[in-house]
Amino acid sequence: MYARGVSGIGIFDIIGPIMIGPSSSHTAGAIRIGRLARYILGEEPRKAHIFLHGSFARTFRGHGTDKALVAGLLGLTVDDERVRDALDLAREKGLEVHWGFKDLGEVHPNSVELDLSGEQNHVKVLASSIGGGEILLSRLDGFRIEFSGKLPGLVAVYPDQRGVVAQVASVLACHEINIATMRVSRERAGGRALMAVETDQEISQPARQALLSLPMLEKIAILPRV
Going along the chain from its start, the domains and CATH numbers come out as: 11-141 (3.30.1330.90), 153-223 (3.30.70.260)
Query: Which H or E run contains 40?
Result: helix 29-41
Q: Which of 45, 23, 24 shows the shortest CA–CA distance to 34?
A: 45
Report the alpha-carbon distance of residue 151 to residue 172 in Å, rounded: 15
Residue 16 pLDDT: 46
Residue 6 pLDDT: 38
Residue 62 pLDDT: 77
Residues 148, 209: contact at Cβ < 8 Å?
no
Residue 59 pLDDT: 85
Q: What is the pLDDT along the chain (226 residues), one digit of tens a residue?
A: 555 443 444 434 433 444 454 566 679 999 999 999 999 999 999 999 999 999 999 987 777 899 999 999 999 999 999 999 999 999 999 999 999 999 999 999 999 999 999 999 999 999 999 999 999 999 999 999 999 999 999 999 999 999 999 999 999 999 999 999 999 999 999 999 999 999 999 999 999 999 999 999 999 999 999 9
Residue 112 pLDDT: 98
Q: Which of 70, 56, 71 shows the shortest CA–CA distance to 23?
A: 56
